[in-house]
Amino acid sequence: MKVWLDGKLVNKEEAKISVWDHGLLYGDGLFEGMRIYSGKVFKLEEHMERLYQGAHVLNLEIPYSREALAAIVLETVAANDRRDGYIRLLVTRGAGTLGIDPAKCPKASVVVIVDGIQLYPEELYTAGIPIVTAATRRLPGDVFDPRVKSLNYLTNIMAKMEATRAGCPEAVMLTREGYIAECTADNIFIYSKGVLKTPAAHLGILEGITRATIMELAADAGIPVEEGVYNRTDLYLAEEVFLTGSGAEIIPVTEIDGRKIGEGTAGPVSGKLRKLFQDLIK
């Protein structure tokens, strides 16, 4: 396996970063998770845009132009000879001194890892998964906006541990006010009374690229799509619920906090959108 690290492709064993890197010391950095389907990077432009927007918010200078970094991603994919897989792109503030001041870090570090991924066993994509509501709240956008896909995932990790303790693969996180935000690494959709609904971006969620893709596919298929404010009752009373993400793709949810969703089986709308998504990635 070849990893891109600050200007060169190195073997996995040599892919090491400094203990002075502020990405490690303070979580000061950004990441993207992308998919490779049939030899192509899915929505590469969109991932680049989100990364550079995050960098702008953090005042973090990426030492490559967007085009150059996209070419580095493609070069790493080619070096690993992967037609299907997963890419983890990391930009950290770089090595500095002890102390949080990013001005003491002269150059950001860039890492590209290309590997395989199977987030859930295949059978769960047809059977669906149970999830729980986490007590850990999603970071409020006025504190730190989750639109910035930063290396600070501790609230998500806290919620993920709650899910695991409850015997579930995922947990849904609420906003500080108690509205539905998103899951620990996925966006959430509700289908009810002919309308596909998803929490609005301003509530404090990551604006997922899979989320945008599904919204587009649904609209093209004539399914009305609404971004709004929803609570747990909206989830419990939904006909269908499903999650989306680059890692998870589209996975149906059949139980939330011990309540059956719809018929308690994967529903036709998530099935249809999953099929449209699979056609797209082919």
* Cβ nearer to ligand PLP, comparing 211 with 274: 211
Burial of 218 (C-beta count, 10 Å sphere; 0-12/13-18/19+): buried
CB of 186 to ligand PLP, least distance (A): 5
For ligand PLP, the nearest residue by Cβ is 208
282 counts as catalytic? no
Find residue 112's DSSP bridge partners: 4, 89
Question: Is 108 or 209 the residue whose CB approaches ligand PLP more closely?
Answer: 209
CA 1 from centroid of its chain's CA atoms? 23
Q: Applying CB under 6 A, does 185 fall inside the site for ligand PLP? A: yes
| Subset of 203-232 contacting ligand PLP (CB under 6 A) | 206, 208-211
Q: Which of these is catalytic: 2, 8, 104, 149? A: 149
Residue pair 261/238 in contact (Cβ under 8 Å)? The answer is yes
| Residue 262 φ/ψ region, left for φ over 0, alpha for ψ in the -120 to 50 degree band, beta for the rest | left
Q: Would you count residue 109 as binding ligand PLP (CB under 6 A)?
A: no
Site residue total, ligand PLP (CB under 6 A): 14
Yes or no: say if 58 and 150 are a contact pair by the CB < 8 Å rule.
Answer: yes
Choice from 24, 26, 33, 88 touching ligand PLP (CB under 6 A):
33
Per CB under 6 A, which region of 13-21, 94-102, 104-112, 180-188 contacts ligand PLP?
Answer: 180-188
According to CB under 6 A, which one of 80, 187, 192, 198 is a site residue for ligand PLP? 187
Q: How far is the CB of 228 from ligand PLP (least distance, A)?
A: 17
Toward ligand PLP, which CB reaches closer, 79 or 124? 124
**175 contacts ligand PLP (rule: CB under 6 A):** no
User: Which residues are catalytic, by number?
Assistant: 149
Contacts with ligand PLP, residue ranges (CB under 6 A): 33, 156, 182, 185-187, 206, 208-211, 244-246
